[in-house]
């Protein structure tokens, strides 16, 4: 099943829940809940008391008779246990190694005392984002090493210690009867992890163990709910970072330089790339064997790491799952009820798609605008008209793709790459659209269209030169339609980008 990456409680299997906090960056962790009858086992609390209170309120609303008798802390990072005090009657379980780290943890005091110590930018940002006041560290009441089976009503949950890896005492929470695994921070999705402890080989072994478990639904410590494919991707990441770090260490390259020089390639869109400094540093520490560089020293380097921009053009990078919609798409069933207000292909677009979209669920862009039904009903006929207007399809898609590029809309780009290919644009033509009108290989008519997009995006009018290039080859209605096409797709891009409309599932790229 696909679980949307939206904030709050999601039932991911029968009586099994994930509590998600997009976008999964620093301090935005996930939690889990396993229920049997009125009994519940909670996997992790959150970074602060208010966040944890919100989560427990959401659980109480969904399951009014629930009693959480057991809490498992997957590891010792504050974003997985600083809310423990709100469960004063629960048995709190953690590995002995995690509990030892929790007993030493005074970081919340540092966070709660603004200005006392200058912290790296990411830590200062966390101070501003979360309310760290009122934390009473509430430690595990029962610890274990290795494996432990815990009963929740009639269900059994397996705790499997796999640390030291991310931290000293990482634990996986396996729910065999739901084929579900809560990984804590042994898995990050959509963002770089942090190697606090290592060794990295233990972490790779933990990934192998996950891949051998009979599980389908995997809830990472940070990021969306996924399956095993993402675990494989993550395992590859660990190996790539390890190999890069070993090479750089052997060549005497300083940590910060090694982080900057790492080729991010397929992971260029992962969040929190500055964590490479910590991760490469942790592997240097393993190789040095003398405890250097320490994590504090590495945290001091974080601000020196300049986030590399992904290789141009950025538009070939699809939106991350971490981009939470600001306005969520309405359900398809609700959008379909608007179809009778329209006719022909416009009505079909709201019902079950039309043309190349036939049979697809309603597009997220339409379902988002559908939060204003009258606006949607007014816009769809215009879009339909432009989609089957007077400009030949290949030229129309060329213009829309250049508009998507100029307006920085990955959603528009992804959709029209498909439509453009269907309309006769070659793969290499599409690849050259971001390079603009002067890219070699476009003929004069194409160049004039690309230039028209650029001029309208920049100055909202066409130059005399461009007008004179276009006029002989287009009728007056076609010229008007061209202007409307560029303007309409600029309008749509503004809505897509600002509302952070998620890419439709069936278009999501396979990693
Ligand atoms: Zn975490």
Distance 168 CA to ligand 1 centre (A): 13
Count of CA atoms in the C-beta half-sphere (13 A) of 369 = 21
Q: What is the pLDDT of residue 353?
A: 64
Residue 386 exposure: Cα atoms within 13 Å on the Cβ side: 21
User: Is there a contact between 260 and 308 (Cβ–Cβ < 8 Å)?
Assistant: yes
d(CA 478, CA 499): 31
**3-state SS, residue 34:** strand
Cα 21 to ligand 1 centroid, rounded to whole Å: 11
Classify residue 84 by its DSSP letter.
G
Please give the pLDDT value at position 376. Answer: 96
CA of 87 to the centre of ligand 1 (A): 19
**224 CA distance to ligand 1 middle (Å):** 13
pLDDT value of residue 81: 98
Counting Cα atoms < 13 Å in the Cβ hemisphere of 51 gives: 28
Q: Give the pLDDT confidence score for residue 505 in this predicted structure.
A: 80
pLDDT in the model for residue 318: 43
- The yes-or-no answer to whether 8-304 and 332-507 have a common fold is no
CA 452 / ligand 1 centre spacing (Å): 48
- Say how many Å lie between the CA of residue 328 and the centre of ligand 1: 26
Nearest Cα residue to 155 out of 2, 3, 13:
13
First to last CA, the chain: 18
> Cα of 83 to ligand 1 centre, how many Å?
13
Rounded to the nearest whole angstrom, what is the distance from the C-alpha of residue 185 to the centroid of ligand 1? 5
The DSSP code sequence of 258-302 is HHHHS--GGGTT-B-TTHHHHHHHHHHHHHH-SS-S-HHHHHHHG
Distance between Cα 190 and ligand 1 center (Å): 13
Distance 92 CA to ligand 1 centre (A): 18
With a cut of 70, which residues of the chain have pLDDT below it?
A: 114-116, 306-323, 353-359, 508-511
Domains of the chain, residue spans:
8-304, 332-507
Distance 498 CA to ligand 1 centre (A): 28
The predicted pLDDT at position 257 comes to 93
Nearest to 432 by CA among 422, 443, 474: 443
**What superfamily would CATH give domain 8-304?**
Ribonuclease Z/Hydroxyacylglutathione hydrolase-like (3.60.15.10)
Cα 80 to averaged position of ligand 1 atoms, centre (Å): 6
Distance CA 229, CA 145 (A): 29
Residue 343 C-alpha to ligand 1 middle, in angstroms? 51
* Ligand 1 geometric centre to CA of 25 (Å): 9
Give the pLDDT of residue 345: 83
Concatenate the DSSP letters of all residues of 120-157 into one string. -HHHHHHHHHS--TT------SEEESSEEEEEETTEEE
Q: How far is the CA of 116 from the centre of ligand 1 (A)?
A: 24
CA of 173 to the centre of ligand 1 (A): 15
Pick the CATH number of 332-507 from 1.20.1290.10, 3.30.450.20, 3.30.70.1290, 1.10.10.60: 1.20.1290.10
C-alpha 24 to ligand 1 mean position (Å): 9
Q: What is the whole-number distance in angstroms between the Cα of residue 294 and the centre of ligand 1?
A: 20
* Residue 166 CA to ligand 1 centre (angstroms): 9
- Ligand 1 centroid to 254 CA: how many Å? 27
Q: What is the Å distance from ligand 1's center to 77 Cα?
A: 6
Distance CA 207, CA 186 (A): 8
Give the pLDDT confidence score for residue 422 in this predicted structure.
86
Q: Using CA atoms, how far apart are residues 215 and 158, in angstroms rounded to an integer?
A: 13
Distance, CA of 46 to CA of 53 (rounded, Å): 9
- The residues, any chain, with a CB within 8 Å of residue 195's CB and separated by 6 or more, are 165, 166, 203, 278, 279, 282, 283
CA of 274 to the centre of ligand 1 (A): 16
Ligand 1 ion: residues within 5 Å (CB): 29, 77, 79, 185, 221
Tell me what pLDDT residue 509 has. Answer: 53
How confident is the prediction for the chain on average, in pLDDT?
91
Give distance in angstroms: CA of 96 to centre of ligand 1: 18
pLDDT at res. 113 = 81
Beta strands in 443-488 (DSSP E): none
pLDDT at 313: 41
């Amino acid at each position: 099943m696909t679980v949307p990456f939206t904030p709050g409680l999601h039932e991911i299997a029968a009586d099994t829940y994930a509590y998600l906090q997009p976008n999964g960056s620093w301090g935005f962790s996930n939690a889990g809940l396993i229920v049997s009858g009125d009994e519940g086992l909670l996997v992790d609390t959150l970074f602060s008391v208010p966040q944890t209170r919100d989560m427990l309120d959401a659980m109480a609303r969904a399951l009014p008779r629930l009693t959480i008798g057991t809490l498992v802390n997957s590891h010792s990072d504050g974003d997985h246990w600083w809310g423990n005090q709100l469960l004063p009657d629960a048995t709190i379980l953690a590995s002995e190694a995690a509990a030892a780290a929790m007993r030493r943890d005074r970081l919340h005091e540092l966070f709660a005392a603004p200005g006392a110590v200058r912290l790296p930018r990411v830590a200062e940002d966390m101070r501003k984002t979360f309310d760290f006041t009122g934390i009473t560290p509430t430690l595990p009441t029962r610890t274990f090493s290795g494996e432990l089976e815990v009963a929740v009503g009639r269900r059994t949950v397996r705790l499997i210690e796999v640390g030291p890896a991310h931290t000293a005492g990482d634990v996986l929470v396996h729910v065999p009867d739901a084929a579900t695994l809560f990984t804590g921070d042994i898995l990050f999705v959509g963002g770089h992890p942090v190697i606090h402890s290592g060794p990295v080989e233990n972490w790779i072994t933990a990934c192998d163990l996950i891949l051998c478990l009979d599980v389908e639904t995997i809830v990472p410590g940070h990021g969306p709910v996924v399956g095993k494919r993402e675990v494989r991707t993550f395992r590859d990441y660990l190996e790539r970072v390890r190999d890069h770090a070993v090479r750089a260490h052997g060549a005497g390259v300083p940590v910060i330089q090694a982080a900057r020089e790492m080729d991010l390639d397929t992971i260029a869109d992962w969040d929190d790339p500055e964590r490479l400094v910590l991760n490469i540093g942790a592997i240097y520490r393993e190789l040095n064997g003398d405890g250097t560089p320490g994590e504090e020293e590495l945290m001091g380097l974080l601000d020196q790491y300049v986030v590399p921009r992904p290789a141009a053009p950025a538009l070939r990078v699809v939106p991350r799952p971490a981009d939470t919609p600001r306005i969520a798409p309405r359900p398809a069933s609700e959008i379909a009820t608007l179809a009778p207000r329209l006719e022909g292909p416009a009505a079909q677009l709201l019902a079950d798609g039309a043309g190349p979209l036939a049979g697809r669920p309603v597009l997220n862009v339409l379902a988002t605008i559908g939060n204003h039904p009258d606006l949607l009903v007014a816009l769809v006929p215009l879009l339909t008209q432009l989609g089957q207007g007077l400009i030949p399809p290949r030229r129309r898609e060329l213009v829309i793709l250049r508009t998507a590029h100029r307006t920085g809309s990955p959603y528009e780009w992804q959709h029209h790459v498909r439509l453009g290919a269907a309309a006769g644009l070659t793969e290499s033509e599409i690849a050259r659209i971001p390079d603009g009108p002067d890219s070699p290989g476009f003929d004069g008519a194409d160049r004039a269209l690309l230039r028209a997009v650029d001029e309208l995006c920049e100055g909202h009018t066409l130059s005399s030169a461009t007008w004179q290039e276009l006029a002989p080859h287009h009728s007056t209605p076609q010229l008007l339609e061209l202007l409307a096409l560029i303007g309409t797709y600029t309008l749509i891009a503004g809505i897509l980008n600002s509302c952070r409309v998620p890419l439709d599932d069936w278009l999501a790229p396979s990693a």
